[in-house]
Amino acid sequence: MKTDKNICSLVLLTFLFVATCQGAVSASLLWSQKAEASCTAQTSFQQCVLCDLHPKEVTLHVLNTLIVPYMDESLTLTCTSQIFLLGMMQEAATQDTSFRFSGTYFNLNLGWFVDAYNGTYASSEDQTYWEILDGNMRPTPVGVSYYQPKNGETVTFNLTNYS
Ligand SMILES: *[C@@H]1O[C@H](CO)[C@@H](O)[C@H](O)[C@H]1NC(C)=O
Ligand SMILES: *[C@@H]1O[C@H](CO)[C@@H](O)[C@H](O)[C@H]1NC(C)=O
Is a pLDDT exceeding 70 seen at residue 48? no
* Ligand 2, pocket residues at CB < 6 Å: 65-66, 137, 158, 160-161
Of 59, 62, 64, 65, the one to substitute when testing ligand 2's pocket (max ligand atoms within 8 A of C-beta) is 65
* Ligand 1, pocket residues at CB < 6 Å: 71, 73, 98, 118-119
Q: What are the domain boundaries of the chain?
A: 58-161
Q: Which residues contact 94 (CB under 8 A, 6 or more apart)?
A: 42
Q: Please say whether the beta carbons of 144 and 114 come within 8 A.
A: yes
Q: How far apart are CA 15 and CA 20, in angstroms?
A: 8
Q: How far apart are CA 45 and CA 108, in angstroms?
A: 31
* Assigned fold of 58-161: Ferric Hydroxamate Uptake Protein; Chain A, domain 1 (2.170.130)
Q: Express each pLDDT in 104-149 by its tens digit.
A: 999 999 999 999 999 999 999 999 999 999 999 999 999 999 999 9
Name the more confident of 112 and 28: 112
